[in-house]
Structures are given as structure tokens and as C-alpha cells.
Amino acid sequence: MAPLLHLRDVALTFGGQPLLEAAEIAVSAGEHVCLVGRNGSGKSTLLKIAAGLVEADSADRFVQPGATIRYLPQEPDFTGYKTSLAYVEAGLGPGDDHYRAQYLIDELGLTGEEDPATMSGGESRRAALARVLAPEPDILLLDEPTNHLDLPVIEWLEQELKSLRSAMVLISHDRRFLTNLSRATIWLDRGLTKRMDRGFGDFEAWRDEVLAQEELDRHKLDRKIAREEDWLRYGVSARRTRNQRRLGELHGLREQRRTARFAVGSVKLEASEAQTSGKLVIEAVNVAKAFGSNVVVKDLSLRVARGDRIGIVGPNGAGKTTLINLLTGALAPDSGTVKLGVSLEMVTLDQRRESLDPATPLGDALTGGGSDQVMVGDTPRHVIAYMKDFLFQPLQRRTPVGALSGGERGRLMLARALAKPSNMLVLDEPTNDLDLETLDLLQELLSDYQGTVLLVSHDRDFIDRVVSATLISDGDGVWTEFAGGYTDMLAQRGRGVSAKVRAPLGKAQPTAEAPAVIASAAPVSKRKLSFNEKHALETLPKRIEVLQGEVAKLNVALAGDLYSRDPKLFAKATARLEDVTREITDAEERWLELEMLREEIGA
């Protein structure tokens, strides 16, 4: 099938350094492609070139005649528009349905009368989405469409994009979003693109295979150079004229090794841990908090023990940050008590990165100014060495924080937070703007962290990988705790954050100004068997059968003269028989419990 859009041999240089070299994108009708790569690799620039907004140094760009393209930028320009609806309708073409613009405005929780100059980041993103989706174009180019969106809108957006016939190229740091939508993957790495005709779910295994092969090729090249240098050093024939060709080939190998662009190093994340806190970290009893008529927290009782990892989820405006402030003692409750454990050393990563002064140089933001040393725990580190751990270049030491990209500011906040000794991490949207590799390392760090973690995030995959329990807003200030991550919560609760009433989406969501009103007619999803429960129901009968077979064999062995022949073995077999009998009893009770639950749900 001929592609609707084909971009190839794209080359672009910034500041004397090649950003793109022979990069390529091809997308056919109805195809969903995700574009992945590290922060700063040029993904957004390549998408702008595909949209025709940026001119490359050289490129072949083909668009099927008559095909329509809509591009979603990370920072939309609302200049000249009086309302959000006017901005959306300006994106419509001749023959497009104007009613669809109003439909999307409603679905995304806007009124259409918002003043673009005063809209929040979430409102701006929703208006920009409505503008590109309204025409139902042939090709959608979406750069970080989930930025500033909460879980209900993200899950709605997934379903909306699945229902469109448009081809699309997606850039996102939301793994679950990419996995659910993509059917092909383009990896932009060191200026070049590699394509895999499978979705993002298979990307990481494929990437690791590619990098392993590169490492093998580099090793072979190094070995070949070493052999040739040995010949040059010790071979008498190297001085003869007829061997000058071989000498030239050695120079060529050295040049190949020098100019090769191998994989960039990884971020080095390591938290500075303080002394162990008390076993009980937080105890909240009947805590309540309201702002006027808006009840944010109502009768919440919660115990957080040392080592717990609590994920907090809910729509924007539900009060997640307020809840964090209540639990950490930064905000006093209207009623109830919050007791903090002993020896707590808390480090907070704030959502809006408000603690970063845009005028402060990067190096001073790490050291505090007036020094070239960063105290990482109790150990001094040179600021340049610590910057390199987070993939900053030495030349960026004097770069103002305001000139850094979103991903770089995210890494800077992590560098500052992780340098401080702590036994409790409070992370409010820590995954914003981080690339996939940094997210992987942050996840590993939190998994190895010996302290306690409170995490607010809209990233479903990250929550699943990190937390041990999930606290979700049920509206009207009610918060409910579930064991496990977001997926486990869905299995236990039967519905996610998006199940809240939305007519249109977002208008019935709880906000700081007005609490949500839950419609009495809203259907309540039934309790469903979780994956683990289904698996246990299917496998327990076989397990019981195996255990019963072991009991039969043990009884035969014990019925003979085993005691007289080997008293120790007899004692061991007797103890094992008791254990197996107990396991059978437990397995039978568990199976009966699950079978009764299955019948109850079926009824």
C-alpha cells in the first residue's frame, strides 16, 4: 500500500552537531505508528518536518495528493482567538462538520467560552486536541497528546483515537497509551530511524537486541583495529610500498571508529538514603478537609508503614496534592488527626517544579551557588560529574534553568531531590516529560529504595510497576485504598477513574471550585474475578490432585519398615505428610471460596 505520508533522507544540523541523519517516516492509510527516542533526539523536530512546519537541511517529503494533515504541538498558539471554541473552529476545513467541533468541546469538558489567555495547561491541551480531531483528517501527527491530561481524559482519548480512520504518528512518554494504540514503531536514535512493524509493546525487547548487536559490531571493529595496529607495529613488510594499501585501510578503520555514533550513556539514578524511619510512618484517623462547599477529603483513615509505596490517583481537581499535603503534615486537617512517625527525613518532588528559578544557572541549581561541589548524601561530588550522571553536558553548567527543555528540567528536579538524604519520597507527577529510559531507571530506583514512597501519577504503567497499594478518589471527598497497582485496582473495583460520571467528560469531575455530583442512575459495575483469582480457580484442582498423589506415596512409604531402616528419613516423611495434608486443606478451602464467588458474580 502506497504511504499517505513519506519522509526520507531527512538531515538537519543544530549548532554544528547533526541532529538528524537520513531519518525516515512512512505512514499508510489507517496505520498507527509511534515515534520513540530519548529526550533531545529530535522526535518533535522530525514530526514538525513531517507536518511541513520546519524545513530540514535536506529531505524528500511526499504527501498523497488531497490528503489532509493535522499536527498537535506541545505548546499550541492561541494568539488572536477570543474563545476556545473559536480556536477549535479555526482548524476546520471546507466541508468539515462544525457540529463536531462543539461535540468535542463538550466531550473534553470545556464550555467553548474559555478565554485562551487564562486557560490552564489541561484546558489548553484539551482545546488543542479538539482542534486537530474535529476535521477527522487523513493523517494525525500528535506530539505528547497526554501531557497535562488526567486519567479520565487519557482513557477517553484512547477510545476516540481507536474509533478514527485517520492514520497517526504518536509521540508520548505514556507506555500504556502507546501500547494500546500503536501497531508499528519508529525508533529515532542518534539521528537515524529504525522501524519495527509491531506495536510499542514489543519495542523494548527489540531495542535491546539492536543495541546488543551494535555492541558486538563495535567489539569486532576494535579487535580488527588492534590486529592491524599490531601488524603496523611489528610487521617488517609494513614499510614496503605494496603494503601502503593496507596501511590506508587501517587509517580508514580508525576513522570509522572515531566517527561512529554509539549509544548515549544512561542516567545514573541513586537515592541518598537516611537512617531508617520508625515502623509506623503515617497514621491518619478520620481526616477531613474542605474548601468552602467542596469536600476534598472526608473521614479518611489510613496507616502507612515503613517501606510502603502508595499510589494516589484521581481526576484533576480531586484533591490529590491536597491529600499529599495533609498526609505529610504540610496542611492541617479540618477535623481528625495525622500522626507522623519518628526519624522521618522527607524529600518532595513538586508537580509544577516551582522551586526552580528560571534565571538560576544549572550548576548553581544543583550546588546552591558559590561552590562546585554537590553533597550527595554525606559525600561531596563535583558538579560536572554529577551533571553527567543525569545526561547533562559540561557546557550546560551555565545554562539558565528557564532555557532547559521539559525533560531536562525533570532530570534536574530528580538530581536535586535524590541528592538529599531521605527515608521517605513524596513524588507529585515525577514522570512528566521524562523519556522512557529515565522512567525505567526511576522505576528501578524506587523498587530498590528502602524507605517509603507516596506517588501521585496519571501514568498507569508506572503505577503498576512501582506501587504496593493504590488510593483512588471516589468523589465527594471519599478515598478508597486497594492492594496493588492501577490494573489490580481495576480488577478489584471493577472500574477505573474514567468510570466517574461525565456528561460531558470533565464537567462532572470534582474540581477545586465545585465537587462532583454522582448521578443516582449511574450504573455500578459488578465485582469481577481478578486475573489471579481466575488463574487460581483453574489451577487449584490440578494442584490438589498432585498433592493427593504425594500423600498416597508417603503413606505407602510409611506403612513399610522405613522406621527401622532409616528413622531420620521416617521423621522427614512424617513431617512432609503433615505439610502436604495442610496444603490440601488450604487449597480446597481457597477453591471453594473462589467457586462460591464465581457463582455469586454469575448470579
Band the pLDDT of 269: cuts 50, 70, 90. Answer: low
Residues forming beta bridges with residue 454, ordered by sequence position: 310, 426
Q: List pLDDT tens digits, range 295-349.
A: 999 999 999 998 899 999 988 888 888 999 999 998 999 999 999 988 888 888 7
**pLDDT beyond 90 at 595:** no
Nearest to 108 by CA among 84, 143, 80: 84
Who wins on pLDDT, 495 or 473?
A: 473
Q: List pLDDT tens digits, range 156-202.
A: 999 999 999 999 999 998 999 999 999 999 999 888 999 999 999 99
H/E element, 294 = strand 294-305
Q: Are 5-205 and 531-602 equal in CATH topology?
A: no
What pLDDT score was predicted for residue 1? 65
Query: Is-contact 5 154, C-beta < 8 A?
Result: no
Q: How far is CA 336 from CA 58, 147, 302, 575, in A?
A: 65, 35, 11, 51
Who wins on pLDDT, 70 or 446?
A: 70
Query: Is-contact 87 125, C-beta < 8 A?
Result: no
- The CATH class for the domain spanning 267-345+421-526 reads alpha beta
For cell 553527567, the residue is: 388
What pLDDT score was predicted for residue 247? 59
What is the rounded average pLDDT for all residues in the chain?
A: 82
**pLDDT beyond 90 at 69:** yes
Alpha helices in 277-405 (DSSP H): 320-327, 362-367, 383-389
Long-range CB contact pairs, 519-524, < 8 A, 24+: 524/494
Tally the C-alpha atoms within 13 A of residue 429's C-alpha that lie toward its C-beta: 21
**pLDDT beyond 90 at 113:** yes
Query: Is-contact 7 49, C-beta < 8 A?
Result: yes
Q: List pLDDT tens digits, range 478-530.
A: 999 999 889 888 888 877 775 334 444 444 443 333 333 333 333 334 456 66
| Boundaries of every domain in the chain | 5-205, 207-259, 267-345+421-526, 356-419, 531-602
CATH superfamily of 531-602: Valyl-tRNA synthetase, C-terminal domain (1.10.287.380)
Bond before 73 cis per omega within 30 degrees: no
What pLDDT score was predicted for residue 39? 78
What pLDDT score was predicted for residue 139? 96
H/E element, 339 = strand 335-340
**pLDDT beyond 70 at 352:** no
Q: How far is CA 460 from CA 152, 426, 443, 490, 528, in A?
A: 12, 18, 13, 11, 20
What pLDDT score was predicted for residue 419? 83
pLDDT-wise least confident of 414-418, 517-521, 557-561: 517-521
Band the pLDDT of 223: cuts 50, 70, 90. Answer: confident
Q: List pLDDT tens digits, range 356-401.
A: 788 888 888 888 887 888 888 778 889 898 888 887 888 888 888 8
Stretch 211-235: mean pLDDT, rounded? 70
448: Cβ contacts below 8 Å, ≥ 6 apart: none
Stretch 139-148: mean pLDDT, rounded? 92
Query: Is-contact 264 391, C-beta < 8 A?
Result: yes
Say if pTM beats, i.e. exceeds, 0.75.
no
CATH topology of domain 5-205: Rossmann fold (3.40.50)
How many CB atoms are closer than 10 A to CB 555?
11
In the chain, the amino acid numbered 317 is G
Long-range CB contact pairs, 94-97, < 8 A, 24+: 96/134, 96/135, 96/136, 97/134
Who wins on pLDDT, 14 or 256?
A: 14
What pLDDT score was predicted for residue 558? 78
What pLDDT score was predicted for residue 63? 94
